[in-house]
Chains A and B, each alone.
Chain A
């Protein structure tokens, strides 16, 4: 059967071209010396939102209540939307003719740059919400700082994402407080989730040469500078939620940003990438 002419693709291409033409000129995108670090850093931003977005999307159809199911799916879609922007810019910086989709679907686990926190399994709602809250608090302060980036392209993406992430943080904080300060069972589960996730939360603030390079270029903030604001947000919410901040170190589990992942990432990628690996270029 002859297939119908594709009516949508030319429009999308035209739209992308006009959007590209309207984009601010950004010398950082063509900066050869900066390229390896800038590319890596953009992958970190995009991989965090991709992997956490995928994790949260696993709840779709399984949420504890219809309303919560939809809210989680919305959050997942927001995050995957951010991925498209971050990895799109990453592909542009890399300038090897790849696209955001190529980066998302054709990279292996060792090339992924997300925080280990993002890839941890959903567990119950307590783990899912606590993981999201710890990430949202960082994401919010990070994007706020990035709206003042020396790179206009980065600042534009941050401004767009920040509107959605402000709501994510509001929602996850609210639920952490409700469940932490809820019934005996919900309190116990939230505390358990916090104790389990806490040792993964410190990776957000452990800077390496990539973070230093983008910070020196004025593209991103110095990670350590974000920590006090994150700490304050987290402590305020935990106090209201009657939860106890764990005593132990927060940076026990790290390495995701350098491509050292937990055993969970491989399973996520197997599910996420299967179609493109089995049927390269398949589209609908």
Chain B
């Protein structure tokens, strides 16, 4: 019997209405429908979610770790990009 591996899928679960789907892990499945079924069994046993997204891992384009410098270093020592230098009027309350 030939042993063919099922492709890998990345699983995203929305915990509650109004929240974003969050990456929870990955699993193997032959197609999208079974990936959702498997995700239901592997990741939502304790009532974790209201919605599941599955994406073929191969479809994700990731930044290369070697590009870390050019991609992220320019943001260093630019604290003024954080919006923490404004005085928030009291009437606005907690933000």
B6 touches A71 (CB 8 A): no
Smallest CB–CB gap between A77 and chain B, Å?
9
Q: Number of A residues contacting the other chain (C-beta, 8 Å)?
A: 13
Bitwise, A54-80 to B at CB < 8 A (1) or not (0) is 000000000001111011001000000
A65 with B41: in contact, given A174-B33, A174-B34, A185-B1 (CB under 8 Å)?
Answer: no
Q: Which of A67, A70, A170 gathers most chain B CB within 10 Å? A: A67
How many contacts A-B (CB < 8 Å)? 28
CB under 8 Å from chain B, chain A span 194-243: none
C-alpha gap A67/B38 in the complex (Å): 6
C-alpha gap A184/B76 in the complex (Å): 60
Smallest CB–CB gap between B82 and chain A, Å?
42
A67 touches B45 (CB 8 A): no
A74 touches B28 (CB 8 A): no
C-alpha gap A66/B6 in the complex (Å): 11
* Residues on B with beta carbons closer than 8 Å to the beta carbon of A68: 38
A28: CB under 8 A from chain B? Answer: no
Q: Which of A65, A66, A74, A178 gathers most chain B CB within 10 Å? A: A65
B55: CB under 8 A from chain A? Answer: no
Interface range on chain B: under 10, 10 to 19, 20 to 34, or 35 or more?
A: 10 to 19
A74 touches B41 (CB 8 A): yes
* Residues on A with beta carbons closer than 8 Å to the beta carbon of B27: 66-67
Bitwise, B21-32 to A at CB < 8 A (1) or not (0) is 000000111100
Bitwise, A137-158 to B at CB < 8 A (1) or not (0) is 0000000000000000000000
B contacts, CB < 8 Å to A: 1, 6, 27-30, 33-34, 37-38, 40-42, 45
- Can you list 9 contacts pairing A with B, beta carbon distance less than 8 Å? A66-B27, A67-B27, A67-B29, A67-B38, A68-B38, A70-B42, A174-B37, A178-B30, A185-B1
A contacts, CB < 8 Å to B: 65-68, 70-71, 74, 167, 170-171, 174, 178, 185
